[in-house]
Amino acid sequence: MDQELITLLNAASSQDLQIMMPASQQLMRLTEAASSADASSDQCISQFYSRLTRVLVSGSFDDQLQGGSDLSLDGRLIGFIYLKNTISESKVWTSLDTDQRATIKSLLLDYLSRGSDSERFCNRVELVPRLSACVTDLISRLVKAEWPKGQWPDEAWKYMASDWCAYLTLHRCLRAASSFCLALRRKQLAKVIEELIMPQLLTQWQAVMSHQANTQSCVRLTQVLTTCFRVLHHRRHYNKPNFGCIEKELWLFREILQRSFETLNAIANTSDGLSIVKFSLGHLARKLSKLVAVITSYCALGACAGQQESAGR
């Protein structure tokens, strides 16, 4: 059955319209049947999405990058798009049975974990051309669907920030989780950041910034670190911050700011080189500038609250 699905996905991504159109229509019929209320009558149809996920995450990353897999890159992309649309539609996603949703989630997280390249501080899932944007967006939509219900594992936050080196995925997942306006959700997210993400993320950031061997990883780590501080800043703004908390954090901010300014100074003094290198360093400089601005605003908010507290006494 998996081979039939691979053949169908490859056909649906074909450049030949006579092959692509019938395959796309068949794929549409399968997804509609799997999403319908009476899909449970057919085991093969009812488990279509878990089968699809298993096919999409199979194979090595080298094969995916070099085109050595039975499933073509275009076919894999088509499959991920269908899966992403399923998760995006709340009615369709919740219509799937609990076991199938858990299987899909487990397969996707395992796929992300297999992509880890800790030596280069990157994740190979996020490096596959065209596919990376779709996969990271898919996982962020999964967070938006599962996290508010308490069905997203806390360990996933921690591993994305550390062992998996999935910084781009983590950035998008944090943005998805921070889109909820309820104070309780924001409080929960701040706790996740403070206890699970930030300790891991800072260790990674300090390590990668110390030698800057991979500019792209520097950019992505700085980007997700900025997102973390923005979420914490928003919560602090609406929860009457205590200046005492800021005092405890000053050592952390001082180290981040010092490292950021050292890197910005080094970039400014970099001799002319290849345009792609200068572009990458310029991108990193912009991300570091945003991080400095967010931390400065975060500290200023706490200091202002501390002055108001002292005046009240």
Confidence (pTM): 0.85
Band of pLDDT at residue 67, cut at 50, 70 and 90? low
Closest alpha carbon to 167 in 129, 203, 210: 203
Question: Is pLDDT above 50 for 308?
Answer: no
Quick one: pLDDT at residue 266? Answer: 78
Quick one: pLDDT at residue 125? Answer: 93
Quick one: pLDDT at residue 248? Answer: 52
Quick one: pLDDT at residue 9? Answer: 95
Rounded CA-CA distance 172/112 in Å is: 14
User: Averaged over 4-28, what is the pLDDT?
Assistant: 94
**Coil, strand, or helix at residue 122?**
strand
- Could you count the other beta carbons within 10 Å of the beta carbon of residue 255? 12
User: Averaged over 10-18, what is the pLDDT?
Assistant: 94
Quick one: pLDDT at residue 246? Answer: 45
Would you call 88 exposed, middle or buried from its count of C-beta atoms within 10 A (0-12, 13-18, 19+)?
A: middle
User: Averaged over 252-267, what is the pLDDT?
Assistant: 80
Q: Tell me the domain boundaries of the chain.
A: 1-106
Band of pLDDT at residue 176, cut at 50, 70 and 90? very high
Q: What is the mean pLDDT of the chain?
A: 83
User: Averaged over 140-146, what is the pLDDT?
Assistant: 95
Rounded CA-CA distance 44/5 in Å is: 12
φ/ψ of residue 117, rounded to 5? -135, 80
Mutual angle of helices 167-177 and 154-161, in 10-degree steps: 140
User: Averaged over 152-180, what is the pLDDT?
Assistant: 95
